[in-house]
Chain A
Amino acid sequence: MATEIKEALQDIIKRTKAYNCIECGKCSSVCPISLLNEACLPRITVNKALFGAPEVLLKNELLWSCLSCSLCYERCEFDVKFHEFIRDLRIEAYKIGQQGIYAHNGAMQSVMKMMTSPNLKQNRLTWLSKDLKTHDKGEFLYFVGCLPYFDAFFTDLELDTLNIAKSTIKILNHLGIEPVLMPDERCCGHDLLWTGDVENFKKLAQHNIEAIKRTEAKKIITSCPEGYYTLKEEYPKYVGKLGIEVIHISQLLSEKLSELEFQKPITDNRKLITYQDPCRLGRFSEIYEEPRKVITAIDGIELREMERNRKSAICCGTCGWMGCGTYSKQIQIARLKEAENTGADLLITSCPKCMIHFKCAQSDKDVDKKAKINIQDLTTLVANSLKERR
Chain B
Amino acid sequence: MAISIDNIQKTLDTKDIYLKFPEIAPTTYTVRKIQLSPCKVGCPIDTDVKAYLGLIAVGKFEKALEVVKSDNPLPGICGRICVHPCETECNRNEIDQSLAICSLKRFLADYELKKGRAKHKPIKSIKKEKIAIIGSGPAGLTAANDLIRLGYKVTVFEELPVAGGMLYTGIPEYRLPRNIIKTEIKAIKELGVKIKTNAKIKSLNKLQKQGYNAIFLAIGAHKGLKLGIPGEDEFEGFLDCITFLRAVNLKKKVKIGKKVIVIGGGNAAIDSARTALRLGSDVHIVYRRSRKEMPANEWEIEEAEKEGVKIHYLASPIKILGEKGKVVAVECIKNKLGPPDASGRRRPVPIKRSGFKIEVNTIIPAISQQPDISFLPKDHGLEISKWNSFVVDEETLATNIPGIFAGGDCVTGPKTVIEAIAAGHNAAKSIDRCLQGKPLKEKTKLYERVEYEIVIEPKERKERIPMRELSLNRRKNFKEVELGLTKKMAIEEAERCLRCGLCAECSECTPDCDKRLVALSIPGDTSGMLLRVPIDHSKFPLNGSPLQGKLSWADVKEVPVIMEPITAKVISDLCRGCGDCEEVCEYSAPKLQACGELNRTTCGEISRTTCGEPTSRTKQENGVKICSIEESLCKGCGVCASICPSGAITMNYFSDTMINSLSMKSAAETKIVAFVCNWAYPMTQDFETFNSIPLIRVMCSGRITPDFILKAFMHGADGVVGIGCSEGKCHYINGNETAEKNFEKARNILYTLGIEPNRVKLERLSPDEPEKFKEVIGFFIKNIKKKVK
Contacts and interface: CB of A to CB of B under 8 A. Distances in A.
B753 A114 contact: yes
Contacts of B752: 122-124, 148-149, 152
Interface string B751-769: 1111000000000000000
Interface string B598-619: 1111011110100111100100
A123 B744 CA distance: 16
Interface string B652-695: 00001000000000000000000000000000000000000000
A100 B714 CA distance: 20
A104 interface: yes
A328 B595 CA distance: 12
Given A26-B603, A152-B752, A323 B707 contact: no
B575 A325 contact: yes
Contact of B710 (A43, A114, A334): A114
Given A152-B745, A153-B748, A155-B745, A326 B576 contact: yes
Given A107-B710, A107-B749, A365-B578, A29 B614 contact: yes
A326 B575 contact: yes
A53 interface: no
Contacts of B656: 105-106
Interface in B571-602: 571-580, 595-601
A324 B656 CA distance: 17
A166 interface: no
Contacts of B596: 35-38, 327, 330
Contacts of B753: 111, 114-115, 120, 122-123
Given A107-B707, A148-B752, A330-B597, A77 B576 contact: no
A26 B598 contact: no
Contacts of A120: 753-754
A63 to B, nearest CB: 12
A121 B754 contact: yes
A325 B648 contact: yes
B647 interface: yes
Interface residues of A, number: 60
B707 A104 contact: yes
A165 B387 CA distance: 84
Contacts of B572: 325-326
A153 B707 contact: no
Nearest to A115: B753
B743 to A, nearest CB: 11
Contact of B714 (A113, A149, A324, A329): A113
Interface in A323-377: 323-331, 333-334, 364-366
A311 B606 CA distance: 8
A185 B741 CA distance: 27
A103 interface: yes
Contacts of A24: 611-612
A79 interface: no
A249 to B, nearest CB: 22
Contacts of A156: 741
A41 interface: yes
Contacts of A155: 741, 744-745, 748
A32, A107, A308, most chain B CB atoms within 10 A: A107
A122 B754 contact: yes
User: Which of B580, B599, B606 counts the most chain A CB atoms within 10 A?
Assistant: B606
Contacts of B710: 107, 110-111, 114
B416 interface: no
A38 B754 CA distance: 45
B617 A114 contact: no
A383 to B, nearest CB: 23
B414 interface: no
A194 to B, nearest CB: 16
B540 interface: no
Given A36-B596, A122-B752, A25 B611 contact: yes
B197 to A, nearest CB: 58
A56 B600 CA distance: 30
A365 B577 CA distance: 11
Contacts of A77: 608
A331 B595 CA distance: 13
A123 B751 contact: yes
Contact of A308 (B576, B601, B605, B706): B605
B646 interface: yes
Interface string B722-763: 000000000000000000010011001101111000000000
Contact of A153 (B611, B749, B754): B749
Interface string A1-38: 00000000000000000000000111011101011111
A324 to B, nearest CB: 7
Interface in B606-652: 606, 608, 611-614, 617, 623-626, 646-648
Nearest to A108: B707
Given A153-B749, A325-B573, A326-B595, A35 B614 contact: yes
Contacts of A153: 706, 745, 748-749
Given A152-B745, A155-B745, A103 B574 contact: yes
A84 interface: no
B611 to A, nearest CB: 5
B11 interface: no
A74 B606 CA distance: 8
B713 to A, nearest CB: 7
Given A30-B606, A326-B575, A326-B576, 9 more contacts: A26-B612, A30-B603, A35-B600, A75-B606, A101-B573, A110-B707, A122-B753, A323-B574, A365-B578
Interface of A: 24-26, 28-30, 32, 34-38, 41, 43, 64-65, 71, 74-75, 77, 101, 103-107, 110-111, 113-115, 120-124, 148-149, 151-153, 155-156, 308, 311-312, 323-331, 333-334, 364-366
Chain A to chain B: the 8 pairs with minimum beta-carbon distance, closest first = A152-B748, A323-B573, A29-B603, A107-B707, A105-B707, A121-B754, A110-B710, A105-B705
